[in-house]
């Protein structure tokens, strides 16, 4: 990257951060026109370079989580813009340095509890190797550890490294199907001499996808959300690809989402129990209830005796903001 193009990138990122910090809601096509770049460039800025920012996407527009508005100063913006332009996708970007960027002026004044970014120490070279394969359009092969077993994947077309909720994933195409691989489970990677031409439709799908489940057979799940927690679902997307279908008279919601696997939805429903129920597909609510019955039927671990520590009664779980 030349100095001129790098400076242009930094200025664009700085301006985007200023807009976000001021509470503006940003529409990618409008930004592309304003900065004189293509739509994919702006989408890369928002989805990749600003992957560590607490951004919310509502109706195709991006905004900064209201809890963080006004907390970025000029120095923060300048430092993060330079960082994102040069090292924004590298795992060597430490959590400590990011924390320093965002709260160096107010350390001790507030505390944010959220996802912890996985540590990829010692895998920087592997990360860069995959990135180079993506840029050069070369097929890769690697071993992949999953559920205690190792499987070899050959002739994989690498498309994008994506950070989702603090975890890095490789989005790639194998035997004509788009798949995701947890980066930390990839081993013995080889970049081949065979080249491939990226499919624009697949690239667009990756950019638009809000989760990591990219199976070919997506299906719709419909949920009923009780009034007591409806506000959480209206303020942000609790579930990837979430759409509010209807607001009920009692203040509750009917929510729908396109998912690629039951594990994309069941953990969320478990978290929000008993305030969320699955309406469809038929049988999924029953599956969830059966799993809960099995869980409750498991005998306590040795030494527990079914009692809480110090004889204290278990307290009901409370949903956090």
The pLDDT tens digits for 195-217 are: 999 898 888 878 777 667 776 57
Residue 20 burial class via C-beta count within 10 angstroms: exposed 0-12, middle 13-18, buried 19 and up? buried
Sheet holding 149-164, edge to edge: 177-182, 167-174, 149-164, 138-146, 186-195
CA 57 to chain centre: 12
CA dihedral 111, 93, 200, 59 (to 10 degrees): 10
pLDDT of residue 302: 59
Q: What is the rounded CA–CA span in Å between residue 144 and residue 150?
A: 5
Pick the CATH number of 3-103 from 1.10.3470, 1.10.10, 2.60.40, 1.20.1070: 1.10.10
Residue 154 CB contacts under 8 Å (≥ 6 apart), including other chains: 141
pLDDT of residue 72: 60
According to CATH, the topology of domain 124-208 is SH3 type barrels. (2.30.30)
Question: In this model, does residue 46 exceed pLDDT 70?
Answer: yes
The radius of gyration computed from the CA coordinates of the chain, to the nearest angstrom, equals 22
Residue spans per domain, the chain:
3-103, 124-208, 219-297
Q: Would the pLDDT of 68 be above 80? A: no
Comparing 92-96, 118-122, 125-129, 291-295, which segment has the lowest mean pLDDT? 92-96
* Averaged pLDDT for residues 279-289: 91
Measured at the CA of 281, the angle between CA 278 and CA 285, to 5 degrees, comes to 40
What single string gives the DSSP state of each residue in 38-94? Answer: -HHHHHHIIIIITTTS-EEEETTEEEE-GGGTT---HHHHHHHHHHHHHHTT-TTS-
Q: Which of 120-134, 216-230, 283-297 has the lowest mean pLDDT?
A: 120-134
Query: What is the model's pLDDT at position 267?
Result: 87
**Fold adopted by 219-297:** Alpha-Beta Plaits (3.30.70)
* Closest alpha carbon to 172 in 218, 210, 205: 205
Whether 220 has a pLDDT exceeding 80, the answer reads yes
Alpha-carbon distance 171 to 186, whole Å? Answer: 12
**Ramachandran sector of residue 241 (left: φ over 0; alpha: ψ -120 to 50; beta: rest):** left
45: pLDDT strictly greater than 90: no
**Predicted local distance difference test score (pLDDT) of residue 57:** 85
Exposed / middle / buried, residue 117 (Cβ in 10 Å: 0-12, 13-18, 19+):
middle
**What is the per-residue pLDDT across 224-268, written as a single tens digit (0 to 9) for each?**
999 999 998 988 778 877 899 999 999 999 999 888 788 878 888
Kindly report which listed range (58-67, 101-110, 171-180) carries the lowest average pLDDT score. Answer: 101-110
């Amino acid at each position: 990257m030349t100095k001129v193009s790098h400076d242009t990138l930094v200025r664009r990122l700085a301006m985007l951060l200023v807009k976000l910090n001021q509470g503006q809601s940003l529409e990618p096509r409008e930004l592309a026109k304003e900065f004189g770049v293509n739509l994919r460039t702006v989408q890369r800025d928002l989805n990749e370079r600003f992957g560590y920012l607490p951004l919310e996407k509502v109706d195709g527009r991006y905004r900064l989580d209201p809890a963080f508005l006004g907390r970025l100063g000029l120095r923060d913006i300048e430092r993060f813009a330079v960082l994102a332009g040069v090292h924004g996708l590298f795992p060597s970007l430490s959590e400590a340095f990011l924390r320093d960027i965002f709260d160096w002026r107010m350390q001790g004044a507030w505390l944010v509890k959220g996802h912890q970014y996985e540590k990829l120490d010692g895998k920087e070279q592997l990360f860069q190797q995959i990135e180079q394969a993506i840029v050069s359009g070369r097929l890769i092969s690697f071993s992949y550890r999953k559920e205690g077993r190792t499987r070899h994947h050959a002739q994989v077309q690498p498309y994008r490294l994506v950070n989702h909720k603090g975890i890095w994933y490789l989005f790639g195409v194998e035997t004509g199907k788009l798949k995701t691989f947890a980066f930390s489970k990839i081993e013995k990677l080889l970049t081949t001499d065979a080249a491939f031409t990226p499919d624009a439709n697949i690239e667009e799908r990756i950019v638009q996808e809000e989760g990591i489940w990219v199976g070919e057979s997506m299906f719709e799940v419909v949920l009923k959300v009780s009034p007591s927690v409806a506000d959480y679902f209206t303020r942000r997307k609790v579930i990837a690809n979430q759409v509010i279908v209807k607001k009920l008279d009692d203040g509750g919601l009917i929510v729908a989402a396109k998912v690629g696997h039951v594990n994309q939805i069941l953990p969320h429903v478990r978290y929000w129990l008993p305030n969320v129920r699955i309406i469809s597909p038929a049988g999924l609510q029953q599956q969830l209830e059966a799993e809960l019955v099995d869980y409750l039927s498991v005998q306590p671990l040795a030494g527990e005796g079914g009692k809480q520590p110090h004889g204290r009664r278990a307290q009901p779980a409370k949903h956090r903001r």
